[in-house]
Structure 1
Amino acid sequence: MSERYSRQTLFAPIGKEGQEKIRGKHVLIIGAGALGSGSAEMLTRAGVGQVTIVDRDYVEESNLQRQQLYTEQDVELKLPKAAAAQKRLREINSDVRIHSVIGDANPEKLAELADGKDLIIDATDNFETRLAINDISQKYKIPWIYGACVGSFGMSFTIIPGKTPCLNCLLKKLPIQGMTCDTVGVISPAVGMVVSHQAAEALKILVEDWDAVRPAFVSFDLWRNQYSSMKVGKAKDASCLSCGEHPTYPFLEAENQTKSTVLCGRDTVQVRPPKPLDIQLDELAKQLGALGYAVKGNPYLLSVEMKDERVVIFKDGRALVHGTKDMTAAKTLYNRILG
């Protein structure tokens, strides 16, 4: 056993046997932003055998405040986050096999990547991808760890197929909101707190200490000094289409995914959610205006001037992203604004 992990093996719940189990495991991390880079670093330092990181974005200057793997040079080179993370993680621990996937974590890609994975960690920025992860987890019986943070607020929950409620169950019971870092900001301590919860749960699962896995949904607000741990076992729904007695895995189906279409003859992509929303345009306008965006609106829509694009958002959640024909880039921008 390498001296490298001596302090970790001295921790009785892990020990040398647990370290060997960790070394034999493969973790899939969806998203290489704040949560993903933090979890990836912790697990790489812990000696996980293999880590696969999936992300479709590249490193920007605004990431450096909280995304700990990246540098100013990565920003200058506009490196894809997955590639930059892979490079840095290999420098941290050459014993760990790091795989990067530069692309969208859609249901097809998730199904392809699920094979041989022992754990999935959620580090995404939107519920469409999370619900697809949730269905993949249930379909292939792979545990996953939900995590999210915005402002000074964070939350986490560990989902074990066949034992705990799934995310689809929880969304019917808990008021999980769709705010984003691009609309209300985020502080790095909140990121670190969620990462710590996720990484601790990950180690429990990797060493197969199932009794130690937290059964509660955790949320906190570091600025307001609030911490909540809520037992949610009763939220498990036998009729749930993701984890119930007769699952159909609805969020892997095309009709339940956000649609994007390049408008004919225009440098514009239309993005629409799987189901109509009811956007509070006045509130969204205030949030975006506070961030320095030029926002104009009427009772029916908002027009938001970005750096290179203009986004028109309608009350039902549909949006027109002007200034691009790249559907992936348009969906990324859409998720940043609407979560």
Structure 2
Amino acid sequence: MKLVLSWLDDLAPGLAPAGVDPQPLAARMTALGMQVEEILHTGATVDGVITARVLRTERHPDAAKVHRVWVDAGDGVERHVWCGAFNMSPDDVIPLATPGTRMPDGRLIEPRPILGIDSQGMLCSARELGLGDDHSGILILPADTPLGLPYGEALGLRSEVVFDVDLTRNRPDCWGHLGSARDVAAHLGVALAPAPAPVVPTAESRSATVELVDGERCPRFTTVVISGVRVGPSPDWMVRRLQAAGMRSISNVVDVSNYVMLELNQPNHAYDLETLGGHGFRIRLARDGEQMTTLDGTVRTFTSDDLLICDAHDVPIGVGGVMGGLD
């Protein structure tokens, strides 16, 4: 399990202040039964990667898998780069790894000729910069990003210290950031002070029904209806924190769900009330051989020992505490 130190410090201010050697805290956590196996540093920027604007692109008749890109890093000098991604257009701002840059995977960026023409750097994807798993194309930065700056400075990136912790089964209380912060804060004499999350009730009362067919396997299933939600991207701070904890940003709705799970160790899932069959849930055991496609696109075949989340029409829409359905 990954614990983000800045997250722990938000929950218990003074527990893990930025800039302090994390080794002593790791030793104390290990003594408490939270074995810190590794101290990771994520989000650290790559020296030599600067922001640049695409001036123009050009296909080469003898190069099918790469094209030529000219960029300006704010100094008025045109730089030529060969690139195998085709998702950028003129005026896009992108990260440019300049010659001499050592990438996180160990590669040294040097002028290298393709078809006799040097490439004066490399255009970078998010994954190449340690900013996530996306390697489908070059990372496109906001259009108003200043040119010629280290990309980390331009984006306001912050390095995170992460503890990779091996927890034994007798410590489920520490399987979330809040539980871990509570235990360590008590040991160190630091006040636990999680920020309140105010709920603003609306005049319109809406609810989803719940039927517990198997009350032994699932004695409680809680729902709340949140109105006025618009699906979109998450704020940068949440994206970075989820990435540091080993999760990929999907959308604000999915990210909030994952964030709550990582903080409170409480599995949860977001459903669209308008498309939820019967506007309710039915929690039951699966029938032998029953199938459902989960969010990862895998067709799952269940046994009578598997707990399913179904809609009010008894159509499976999730696996209890594991994963939601695709449809």
- Asked if Structure 1 and Structure 2 have the same fold, meaning a TM-score greater than 0.5 normalized by the shorter chain, the answer is no
What's the TM-score once normalised by structure 1's chain length? Answer: 0.20
More strand by share: 2
Of structures 1 and 2, the one scoring higher in RCO (CA 8 A, sep 6+) is 2
**Greater helix proportion:** 1
Q: Specify the structure having the higher radius of gyration (Cα).
A: 2
Q: TM-score, normalised by structure 2?
A: 0.21
